[in-house]
A and B are shown apart, each in its own frame.
Chain A
Amino acid sequence: MSENAAMMPVLFEVFGVKVYSHNFFLVLGILVMFAWVALEARRRRWPASEVVPIGLAGFVGAMVGARLSILFFNGPSTAPVVLDFYKLFDPTVGPGSILGAIAGAYIGGYIASRVIGKDGCACDAFAPAMALGMAVGRIGDFLSGEDGIGKPTTLPWGVHPVAGADYLVHPAPLYDAGFNLLWFGVLLLLRDNPHFQDGRLLKFGVAGYAVVRFFIEFVRNNPVLVLGLTGQQIFCIGLLALVGAYYVIAQRRARIATVV
């Protein structure tokens, strides 16, 4: 691998205008995600009058959640930027964390589906779509060298974080992208399984990502908060606890319904 292979912050130029890889792949990932949601909505025969407001609320919730979660992940020194509402609309500031985006999207989509009176849960359509979108978006993180890409390694697939660096790092965003691509296939296979309906596919999808992300965090450069764990890892544990609690309660309710 060449010495500067990992870094490609400028993807290409059009008439002298630079197009940066970070947001190019972020936008591409979001477009791919919504295209997949549209296909899935068509397959499940959901009308646009339900899918559009839920998708919009999910997108807005994701942008807000991504930014606000930074306060927890990166500490109070980020408050002047994070708590400035109008910095949300500053294109030179990155959106924030994908974990916060997932939580924000879930909350936004859930509220919207309740407001419009959607029967059942629309969220399963988003499960494979989110995995596919994240797989695409992570390529931009890798090419832009975000967060220094990863921790130093001597493994043969390590990459140079910056041109001329005399050490190699884990290509952590590519681990994330690789898993998400695989996870997309798994969720696709499960989408019609009777055990994964009515919101369970999304919960399963998010839980699977949280498990893998927990381990990927060990090779990323995020700040450690407590017990050697980063804020993202603590968030993943919390997310898994919530999903676990949901399944325990659902099982108990099903058992009671069977007895009655």
Chain B
Amino acid sequence: MSETPERYEGPGPNSDAFDPKQHHWDGIQWWTADNSHWWDGTRWLARGETPEHAAPAPAAPRKPRPPGYWRDFWLGFAGVVAVDVILFIVIVSTTPPTGNPNAVASLAPWVLNIGALILFAIIRPRVAIGMLAAYGVAFGLVLLGGCLLAVICFGGAAHLP
């Protein structure tokens, strides 16, 4: 049975604590002063050791989600959709047909959406991930929809608005 090479755990070149004078650069990679270990981009490996990412990575065991993960996730996802649909209806119904919405109505969706996202990112990140997923799906659908429509771009020759 082969012996496991001794691990060197000193600071790597990506660390502020790394001292270039105590290591040397051979033109391709960094080595420790005694040439026993080299830096593979993420950690120190013993001479002759193959970086793990050179070989196909074995499937990492999937970590179980903490209890309540999916409940929080779907709460964030559905919450964003519900609140924005309601807010959109309220803004459209209170805006005169020929005019623009007032400043409060224009700002409210920005403040509510970004404010809620920041708040949940701090107090309950799993809800924030659900919210992000809702925005991501919506933006994905918008971009896909744009494949079938003549999209008007800003400025230049296309002039919008």
A191 to B158, CA, bound (A): 38
Contacting pair B154 A47 (CB below 8 A) = no
Check A197–B153 contact: CB distance below 8 A.
no
* Identity of the chain B residue whose Cβ is nearest the Cβ of A14 in the assembled complex: B148
Q: Per-residue 0/1 for B97-134: is the Cβ within 8 Å of any A Cβ (1 yes, 0 no)?
A: 00011000011011001000000011001001100110
Chain A hits for B39, CB < 8 A: 194
| A2, CB-defined interface residue at 8 Å | no
Give the total of A residues in contact with B, Cβ under 8 Å: 73
Q: Which A199-221 residues sit within 8 Å CB-CB of chain B?
A: 200, 220-221
> Does B152 sit at the interface, judged by CB under 8 A?
yes
Check if A116 sits within 8 Å of B157, measured CB to CB.
no
**Which residues on the A side are within 8 Å of B1 (C-beta)?**
none
B135, A60: Cβ atoms under 8 Å? Answer: yes
A81 engages B161 (CB within 8 Å): yes
Cβ–Cβ contact B41 & A194, under 8 A:
yes
Cβ-closest chain A residue relative to B114: A64
**Is A146 on the interface with B (CB-CB < 8 A)?**
yes
Say whether B7 faces chain A, with CB atoms less than 8 Å apart: no
CA distance A26 to B63 in the complex (A): 34
Q: Which residues of B contact A43 (CB under 8 A)?
A: 53, 57
> In whole Å, how far is B129's beta carbon from the nearest beta carbon of chain A?
5
Q: Is the CB of B151 within 8 A of A92?
A: yes
Cα A93 to Cα B113 with chains together (Å): 21
- Work out how many contacts link A and B, with CB atoms closer than 8 A: 177
Are A56 and B146 interface neighbours, CB within 8 A?
A: no
Given A49, A60, A145, A195, which contacts B13 in the complex, CB threshold below 8 Å? A195
* Residue in chain B with minimal CB distance to A66: B154
Q: How far is the CA of A20 from the CA of B161 in the complex (A)?
A: 21
Interface SS, A side = helix
**CB within 8 Å for A145 and B157 given contacts A47-B60, A89-B138, A91-B142:** yes
Residues of B within 8 A of A20 (CB): 146-151
Question: Which chain B residue shows the least CB distance to A86?
Answer: B88
Q: Which residues of B contact A60 (CB under 8 A)?
A: 132, 135-136, 139
Query: Judging by beta carbons under 8 Å apart, are A222 and B143 in contact?
Result: no
Interface residues of B in 81-109 (CB under 8 A from A): 84, 88, 91, 100-101, 106-107, 109
CB B39 to nearest CB in A, in angstroms, measures 5
A174 CB within 8 Å of chain B: no
Within 8 A of A (CB), among B64-87: 84
In the assembly, what is the distance between CA of A89 and CA of B21, in Å? 54
Contact status A222-B63, CB under 8 Å: no
Closest 4 CB pairs of A and B: A147-B156, A148-B157, A91-B145, A94-B153
